[in-house]
Chain A
Amino acid sequence: MRAPLLRPVGLFVTATLLNGCAAQGAPSFSVFGAYFPGWMLCGMIGVAVAVGLRVLFLACGMDALLSLRLFTYASLGVVAALLVWLVWFGP
């Protein structure tokens, strides 16, 4: 049940991160002729990381150690999003 769920999410995260490394360019990406700001992509990556970590931690049993899970995962997502922003677009 978990593996098929994990795979596309992981793929997406890896693909976008790799894309970010490969294509150092404008902090703006286009989807069907509309430009979206780079921070929006970072936010999506943060959400994906939070969900991915949740799935990962459930799979390896680490989730049981945690309390205040909502805040923990949200914080991890925020940290991931900010790190991606810093690495990708930061000065």
Chain B
Amino acid sequence: MKKVSLSASRPLGILIAGLCIAGAVGLGVYVAGQNSSYPSSDSAELDAEVVHMASTVGGRLIDLRVHVNQAVKKGDILYRLDPEPYQLAVRQAEANFALASAEVENQQRLVAVKTANAAVAKSQTERAQTNHDLAARTVERLKPLAGKAYIPWQEYDQARVALNNASVSLSQSQQQEQAAQTAIGDLKSSIAAQQAAQAVLEQTRYALKQTVIIAPTDGYVTSLRVKAGEILAPSQVLFTLIANDAWFATANIREIALKEVQLGACATVYSMIDKHTALRGHVESIGWGVLSADSAGIGASLPLVPRQMDWVHVAQRFPVRIKLDAANPALLRLGATATVEIRHGAACP
């Protein structure tokens, strides 16, 4: 084995060493700059929106038309609940509505009768008024005659009594007319009852419609583990539908590199299902907040402040949401690992 001298006396050796070190440092600085101006993440995840399929009404599942992992189209019928209880409720509400409508008609007839009664009372008052006027004129006429004894006092007295009677009759018939007018009433309460019955009917029809569950979007059925016959409570989730209309990659990017992430910037995404196929995407948004250990005390009575022991602070990362362009569906699975390169990579020339 040759003895290797460690002395630093050879100028050529020093020159080579200096060149190598300078090259390494220069290249290192350049690469660090490149790395921070073209952010990337190898811990991204593919993401999609989901719908937890449930009905607002409960009942027995009688018709399940999908199976797990099946692709469905928007508007497809996914499942049906037993509609019979809701059909019966609709029939009951229809009957109640018919009852309320009949009551309105009944009330209309009653109002008509009472209006006629009021008219009768009004003409009675007119008659009483006419009688009263006649009696008053008779008394007026007889008064001077009785004073000069052209007629017997008896006749004058009778006329005054007749006037008194006519006054009483007049006031009675006026009161009766008023009472009859008041008694006419209106249709308000019966119409309100009819409207309430109609609202109940529409509610039951809505509930009946909710027994058929329709796909709100194109998607994939997941975590479906039951068969027809299952009894579901209102709002009980039967399965999750992964929406297939838009796919995203969520990449956690260090805060120090966020200034290089512009909204709308091109991004190359590799799904690790096939890491050789580059998917193209665009930055859609950057998360506005993450929960950190230091902010966990919010809401508690006092702020939670740890004693300082860590002099080195690891950079916080924020989720950057990248909307993928149309891609091979086989590569898109919710939760798949992905790598993301923003503003560079095979898909962003």
> Measuring CB to CB, which residues of chain A are less than 8 angstroms from any residue of chain B?
23-28, 30, 35, 37-38, 63-69, 71-72, 74-76, 78-79, 82-83, 85-86, 89-91
Q: How many residues of B contact A (CB 8 A)?
A: 38
Using an 8 Å CB-CB cutoff, how does the interface string of B330-349 with A read, 1 for contact, 0 for none? 00000001010101111000
Partner among A23, A76, A79 whose Cβ is within 8 Å of the Cβ of B276: A23
Question: Given A35-B272, A82-B27, are A26 and B42 also a contact pair (CB < 8 Å)?
Answer: yes
Question: Given A24-B276, A91-B344, are A71 and B17 also a contact pair (CB < 8 Å)?
Answer: yes
Interface contact B34-A90, CB-CB below 8 Å:
yes
Cross-chain pairs A/B with CB under 8 angstroms, 16 sampled: A25-B278, A35-B42, A35-B272, A38-B42, A65-B13, A65-B16, A67-B6, A67-B17, A69-B4, A72-B13, A72-B16, A78-B28, A79-B27, A82-B24, A90-B31, A90-B34
Shortest distance in angstroms between B340's beta carbon and chain A's nearest beta carbon?
9
Question: Given A25-B270, A68-B13, A91-B38, are A83 and B275 also a contact pair (CB < 8 Å)?
Answer: no
Residues of B within 8 A of A27 (CB): 40, 42, 339, 341
Interface contact A66-B28, CB-CB below 8 Å:
no
Which residue on chain B has the smallest CB distance to residue A29?
A: B275
Is B7 close to A, CB under 8 A? Answer: yes
Interface contact B13-A66, CB-CB below 8 Å:
yes
Interface contact A65-B38, CB-CB below 8 Å:
no
Shortest distance in angstroms between A86's beta carbon and chain B's nearest beta carbon?
6
> Measuring CB to CB, which residues of chain B are less than 8 angstroms from any residue of chain A?
2, 4-10, 12-14, 16-17, 20-21, 23-24, 27-28, 31, 34, 37-38, 40, 42, 270, 272, 275-278, 337, 339, 341, 343-346
Which residue on chain A has the smallest CB distance to residue B22?
A: A75
Tell me if B's interface is mostly helix, strand, loop or mixed: mixed
Shortest distance in angstroms between A73's beta carbon and chain B's nearest beta carbon?
8
Complex Cα–Cα for A79 and B23 (A): 7
Residues of A within 8 A of B8 (CB): 67-68
Complex Cα–Cα for A5 and B117 (A): 124
Most A C-beta atoms less than 10 A away, residue of B37, B40, B344: B40
Most B C-beta atoms less than 10 A away, residue of A63, A83, A91: A91
Shortest distance in angstroms between A31's beta carbon and chain B's nearest beta carbon?
13
Q: How many A-B residue pairs have CB under 8 A?
A: 97
Interface contact B24-A75, CB-CB below 8 Å:
yes
Complex Cα–Cα for A25 and B271 (A): 10
Interface contact B16-A66, CB-CB below 8 Å:
yes
Question: Given A30-B272, A67-B10, A67-B13, are A91 and B34 also a contact pair (CB < 8 Å)?
Answer: yes
Interface contact A82-B28, CB-CB below 8 Å:
yes
Shortest distance in angstroms between A85's beta carbon and chain B's nearest beta carbon?
6
Shortest distance in angstroms between A39's beta carbon and chain B's nearest beta carbon?
9
Residues of A within 8 A of B23 (CB): 75, 79
Interface contact B31-A85, CB-CB below 8 Å:
yes
Interface contact B38-A66, CB-CB below 8 Å:
no
Interface contact B270-A83, CB-CB below 8 Å:
no
Shortest distance in angstroms between B341's beta carbon and chain A's nearest beta carbon?
7
Shortest distance in angstroms between A47's beta carbon and chain B's nearest beta carbon?
14
Q: A37-B42, A90-B344 given. 18 additional CB < 8 A pairs?
A: A25-B270, A26-B275, A27-B40, A27-B341, A30-B272, A38-B42, A65-B12, A65-B16, A66-B10, A66-B13, A67-B5, A71-B21, A72-B13, A72-B21, A75-B21, A79-B24, A82-B24, A82-B31
Most A C-beta atoms less than 10 A away, residue of B10, B17, B270: B17
Interface contact B13-A75, CB-CB below 8 Å:
no
Which residue on chain B has the smallest CB distance to residue A85?
A: B31
Interface contact B27-A72, CB-CB below 8 Å:
no
Complex Cα–Cα for A79 and B343 (A): 25
Residues of A within 8 A of B346 (CB): 24
Complex Cα–Cα for A57 and B17 (A): 14
Shortest distance in angstroms between B266's beta carbon and chain A's nearest beta carbon?
12
Interface contact A75-B276, CB-CB below 8 Å:
no
Residues of B within 8 A of A90 (CB): 31, 34, 344
